[in-house]
Structure 1
Amino acid sequence: MPRRLIDRINTSLERWLPEQRLFIKSDTKTRFVRLRPLTQLGALTTGGALFLWAVGASSVLFINHISSGSAREQVAIAQAAFEQRLVALAQERDNRANEAATAQKRFQVALGQVSQMQSQLLASEERRREVETGLDVVQSTLKRTMGERDAARKQIAETGGEDRTASLAARAEDMSHTVDMLSAALGATAAERDAATREAADARLEADRVAQQKRQIEARNDQIFTTLEGAVNISMKPLDRMFRNAGMNPDSVLSQIRKGYAGTGGPLLPIALSSKNMDEFANDSARAQGILDALDQMNMYRIAVDKLPFALPLEGGYRFTSPFGYRWGRLHAGIDLAGPVGMSVKVPADGTVIDAGWANGYGLMIRVQHDFGVSTVYGHLSKIRVKVGQKVSRGERIGDTGNTGRSTGPHLHYEIRVDGKPINPMTFIKAAQNVF
């Protein structure tokens, strides 16, 4: 910059920033440093920029503290809501399964009644046909007998002989008794036919009533299945998204969980259903099996939640002081949660302690191995409460916060590693929060 331009700028700035002199005195000499207006302006500008940067950085840290300071409580609430939701779904599943079993039993009884009534109807129809055939035979016999009687009477009138008359009279009397007997049989058979006809009509009405009841049961079952399918689908998507957001493959997680929970057994009894009934129940059985499979998958997710660190190891009373990332060119492989010495450090997932002792930089440190290649690290502890090889459960106290190792104050250094590679712990925490 030309000297003349610098002098002109200094002259313009002297009204607000007059020239200052900084005297430096020694035993033999006295010197001074001139602080011209342009120099003062540069110093003020640099100081203001540093101040604004400090304010911005503090604001970011404060916002992070507000957003994550209560993350443990939020995760606990989310976890409780998730478990309550699973319990409610399981109870709803049991209720619907009981209703379906009751409806199926009633349907089986109704089918048995329909089958019995159909058999009665067929028997009634057969009896009616037999009665009609008998009526035809009786009518033919009666007609023939009445003809013979009339012929005998005519013959008696024509002959006029006493012996012959007595014989014909006796024969006519027998025919009269036969006609009376046939008439009585004909009346009884007609009454039986009418009763069989009424019984067949009643059987048809009962069959129609049972068929209507069957249709109502089928509609109720369809409504139950539709409700359960909707509830399961709504609940499954957030769980699947939670594991994907945490960087885990849901299919791989569920596959590994099933390998550890695959026991079956017990006697299997055959179900007595006809081929017709099996065809009718095929669709409902497929839908019910689909719902049971989805509920089983949700239960596998619940087990996986206990085995993965979706929660913070501290409960309240801490302050988020340092995030995951690079600082001064070096990776800070976890997050720092500041708090007083002696706070309870709780493991956020089931696992096995693989390291517990002093480590350079970490001070007193615990390393826990979880399933799916995930491990967690807890550093700068004041006390270790577990041993190497010990099995720990989610929420169990494993140590106390402290200020050991390379630390500027009491806090917990918390890491999550997948296959030995450090990842941001907030990835798991935020993934669980996004479920609800």
Structure 2
Amino acid sequence: MRARLAIKLHSLLEQHFPERRVFLKSDNDTRFIRLSSETQIFAVAGVALFVGWTAVTTAILLMDSIGSGNFREQAKRDQATYQERLNILSAERDVRAHEALMAQDRFNAALEQISAMQSELLASENSRRELETGIEVIQSTLRTTMKQRESARQELAALQQSDSDDGLTLANTASPEQMEFMAVALTRTAQERDQIAADARNALDQRDDLELEIRLMQERSDEIFRQLEEAMIISVEPLDKMFRQAGMPTDRIIEEVRRGYSGMGGPLTPISFSTRGEDLTPDEIRANTLLQQMDQLNLYRIAAEKAPFASPVKAAVRFTSGFGTRRDPKTGGRRMHNGSDFAGAHGTDIFATADGVVTHAGWQSGFGRLVKIRHAFGIETLYAHNTKLRVKVGQRVSRGDHIADMGNTGRSTGTHLHYEVRVNGKPVNPMTYIKAARNVF
């Protein structure tokens, strides 16, 4: 069976590839090489395979060359566009930094003015109390003087009536000594009457002067109140806007800070100028309202120190990568980038962006030398790829403290800082906080 199948297959091959002979002739001999059907098939298959492999390889090389050229051109265009964008962002950052410095100066000037106005307000209130006390004393003295003057008038009238009725009797019966005593008494009474009248006129003039001074002080007090109220609005609104732009609920944050600073020596609390159990005057109500606003401003400032409203670097740096999906610098694939990268000189100082406690200061895979700081409101900041660490675990730091030096440790392509902000463990864009504070700090 197998022999017949082989014979049929050979016959089929003979039809398409008949046996061929290649003769090799020399001077003395003639020889030939027999090429069977199977040999011809193997030769043709080998040649076809070689030609096919050559064609595929050539096509792959051409496609790779064309693709590489297009990729390089696209990379150059992307690099030029990215460089232009970085230059624009750098210029905008410088402008915003200058505006932030100017805003900080205005903010400090407003605080100084508020402090001075508060001192003037307290001094004005003390002066007003002293004037009210002085007016009460003068009015009491005036009432006493008028009573004395009225009594003197009645005595003088009685004496004059007695002189007119009994003048003849007195003249006949009184001795010269008695007449002289009466004359002296009448003269003294008249002088006392005139003095009382003069004192009364002076008291009335002093009362008018005091009333005018009180009106002037009241106008000055109203002006101080208006300036303080305007200063409070100018100071509180930017802070409230900053927190809202960062997505932080101000009511909850202020309440949390108030609970943490409720002991003696904490922020300002409303006080009452009245200690007599009487209804508060309009000025006292305005003063208490201002003190409440000052308390709120103080709470805002405390909260701002506990949130990362600052840049981690103050030296000249380049913003090389932002928050979001990007091309991985090592593998080239698309990956999520959970922070912002700032490239600068080796050893550039890195600063804490808010008050907090250091929870990690050491090596971590991928991050290199890493510093983690836990802040209030469930916020955590990370500073990675450092060359040297300046803090230890458990150490308390304040905004602006020098915590590390910029380096190239861990999974990094060059000297830079990888800066992250996490809220309740979830990464958020750090630039949201930095941009929100541009016109405040």
TM-score norm. by structure 2 comes to: 0.72
- Quick one: which of 409, 429, 433 aligns to 2:438? 433
Q: Closer, same or farther in 2 for the Cα pair 1:69/1:383, shift >3 Å?
A: farther
Give the match for residue 240 of structure 1. 240
Does 1 or 2 have the higher relative contact order (CA < 8 Å, sep 6+)?
Answer: 1
Q: Closer, same or farther in 2 for the Cα pair 1:240/1:177, shift >3 Å?
A: same
Give the match for residue 300 of structure 1. 299
Contact 2:385 2:407 in 1 (8 A): yes
| Superposition deviation, residue 230 in structure 1 | 0.8
Contact 1:145 1:175 in 2 (8 A): no
> 1:381, 1:73 → 2: CA distance?
28
Q: Does 1:290 align with 2:289?
A: yes
Q: Does 1:189 align with 2:189?
A: yes
Q: How many residues align?
A: 377
Give the match for residue 67 of structure 1. 89
| Superposition deviation, residue 186 in structure 1 | 4.1
| Superposition deviation, residue 338 in structure 1 | 2.4
Structure 1, gaps ≥5 residues long: 1-25, 36-42, 150-170
- Amino acid in the other structure paired with 1:420: G
> 2:338, 2:108 → 1: CA distance?
37
- Quick one: which of 344, 347, 358 aligns to 1:339? 344
> 2:230, 2:237 → 1: CA distance?
11
Q: Does 1:139 align with 2:138?
A: no
3-state SS in 2 of match to 1:433: coil
Q: Closer, same or farther in 2 for the Cα pair 1:347/1:66, shift >3 Å?
A: farther
Contact 2:272 2:288 in 1 (8 A): no
3-state SS in 2 of match to 1:381: strand
Contact 1:73 1:316 in 2 (8 A): no
Contact 2:257 2:303 in 1 (8 A): yes
Aligned positions of 1:84-163 closer than 5 A: 84-146=105-167, 148=169
Deviant stretches of 4+, over 6 Å: 26-35, 46-50, 175-180, 270-274
Q: Does 1:415 align with 2:420?
A: yes
Q: Closer, same or farther in 2 for the Cα pair 1:293/1:65, shift >3 Å?
A: farther
Give the match for residue 362 of structure 1. 367
| Superposition deviation, residue 427 in structure 1 | 0.3
3-state SS in 1 of match to 2:116: helix
Q: Does 1:399 align with 2:404?
A: yes
Contact 2:96 2:439 in 1 (8 A): no
Aligned positions of 1:42-61 closer than 5 A: 55=77, 58-60=80-82
> 2:347, 2:191 → 1: CA distance?
99
What is the RMSD of the two structures over their aligned residues, measured on CA atoms?
4.0
> 1:118, 1:351 → 2: CA distance?
61
Give the match for residue 22 of structure 2. none
TM-score norm. by structure 1 comes to: 0.73
Q: Closer, same or farther in 2 for the Cα pair 1:384/1:265, shift >3 Å?
A: closer
Q: Closer, same or farther in 2 for the Cα pair 1:378/1:185, shift >3 Å?
A: closer
3-state SS in 2 of match to 1:398: strand
Q: Closer, same or farther in 2 for the Cα pair 1:81/1:370, shift >3 Å?
A: farther
Structure 2, gaps ≥5 residues long: 1-48, 60-65, 327-332
| Superposition deviation, residue 326 in structure 1 | 1.6
Contact 1:142 1:182 in 2 (8 A): no
3-state SS in 1 of match to 2:383: strand
Give the fraction of aligned pairs with identical amino acids, expressed as a percent. 36
1:389-431: per-residue Cα shift (whole Å, max 9, x none)?
2222322333333333333333222111111111111101110
Give the match for residue 202 of structure 1. 202
Question: Which deviates further from its counterpart, 206-215 or 393-402?
Answer: 393-402
| Superposition deviation, residue 355 in structure 1 | 2.2
| Superposition deviation, residue 182 in structure 1 | 4.9
Give the match for residue 5 of structure 1. none
Contact 1:415 1:422 in 2 (8 A): yes
3-state SS in 2 of match to 1:145: helix
- Amino acid in the other structure paired with 2:303: A
Q: Closer, same or farther in 2 for the Cα pair 1:370/1:72, shift >3 Å?
A: farther
| Superposition deviation, residue 357 in structure 1 | 3.2
| Superposition deviation, residue 360 in structure 1 | 3.4
> 2:207, 2:57 → 1: CA distance?
115
Give the match for residue 320 of structure 2. 321
> 2:308, 2:95 → 1: CA distance?
14
